[in-house]
Every structure is written in structure tokens, then in C-alpha cells.
Amino acid sequence: MVGRRGDRGSHRRRDVSVPARCHGRLTTTVDDRRGRRNDRAEDHNGQPDPRLGHHHRVASDGNMQLLGLLVGGVIAPRLVAGIGSTITWADRKNMAFDFGITPEQAERRRELIDAGDGRLRDGDATAFAPHAGFKELRSTAQLGYAIYGAWQVVGAVSEGWLGHGLAESPLARESSAITTALGFVYRF
């Protein structure tokens, strides 16, 4: 196994080369939230809604760890394919930021439901405090076709499954989701 170590920060990557025109990548990532992301709750017109509250993502919002494996390679003269999977673990703070509802938020949601807000369902006004642990399992398949020169068309399909009881959160509408993508890539 031939390996290459990535940067020495919070993101570590190990690439693995395998014979027969195949490649693989094992990736681990720690999301330490040193950057700031401002997510504002908005009403149906896209305006800030003070009744839903404002969310600021900062380092105190917790950490998560991703472990993924991607294997792929050339399967025909102009065709490449890959499959992979990623598993994510998170601490309690990270889970609470993404899926938790405090009693105060649940009360505000109850007021909105009582006022006839169609964005919320009856079960959406319950408090939810998730625990640390398994957050998500995601599997992905991708296919690329060389069109002309460095141009490729790439398609991908991915399915993710929530873990650790997160589907019980009022913020999670489904326990799994399928994502598809289609795009063009120019390879330098």
C-alpha cells in the first residue's frame, strides 16, 4: 500500500493506489467549526423571522468526525466510475445544533402552529435533546464520461441514513435521503 499524507491540520487524508487502473482514498476530517456561519431563520418571504430565532455556528457548536472510503477508476476508455461510503460521528453539541430543539424553541413553535403556520406539523413543537454518537452513514456512486479533451460530464447519486435516533427529531422529516447531481467538469 502506497500512501501520501495530507496537510497536518485538522484534515487528514491518505490516498491508496491499487493495481488494475483503480484508485482509492481514505479520508478523515475533524470539523472544529473555527469559522463562523450565520444561519438565520426566515419567514416565507425570505425575511428574518425573530419568532424562529437566529442561529450562529461557531466553535462552541461542537465537533464531528468523518471517516470515508472512495474506490474508483477507469472502467472503459472514456468512462470512470467510483463508489464510496462515509460515516459521521458527532459530539452532543454538534448533534444539538443540527437536530436539537430546546423547550423555549418548542414553545415558540407551538405558538406558530396554533397561529396556523403551514410550515410546521403538530409533532414539530416537542423538545428534542440528541446524544453524542453515530450521526450519518452516506453511500455514493459516481460515473464520469470524457466528452472532449479535458471536459467530462459527471453524474452522482448518494443516499444518507440518519443514525442514533436522530430521525425522531422534529427537524428531521425523513430518516434517509437520496441526492443526485449532474454536471460538467474541466480537468486541469
Position 14 scores a pLDDT of: 46
**Residues in CB range of 11: below 8 A, 6 or more apart:** 28, 29, 30
Position 164 scores a pLDDT of: 75
Position 122 scores a pLDDT of: 84
Position 139 scores a pLDDT of: 97
Please classify residue 93 by burial: count the beta carbons closer than 10 Å to its beta carbon, then call 0-12 exposed, 13-18 middle and 19+ buried: middle
Position 7 scores a pLDDT of: 38
- Long-range Cβ contact pairs of 103-110 (< 8 A, separation 24 or more): 103/127, 105/53, 108/51, 108/52, 108/53, 109/170
pLDDT digits (tens, 9 = 90+) for 74-105: 999 999 999 999 999 999 999 999 999 999 99
Position 90 scores a pLDDT of: 92
The answer to whether 49 and 109 are in contact (CB under 8 A) is no
Position 29 scores a pLDDT of: 56
pLDDT digits (tens, 9 = 90+) for 9-60: 444 444 443 444 555 666 555 554 444 344 444 444 444 544 444 444 455 6
Position 42 scores a pLDDT of: 45
CB atoms within 10 A of CB 152: 18
Which amino acid belongs to residue 62?
G
Position 163 scores a pLDDT of: 92
pLDDT digits (tens, 9 = 90+) for 154-180: 999 999 999 978 999 999 989 999 999
Query: Shortest CA distance to 44 belongs to which of 125, 103, 116, 106?
Result: 116
Alpha-carbon distance 8 to 152, whole Å?
Answer: 32
CB atoms within 10 A of CB 136: 20
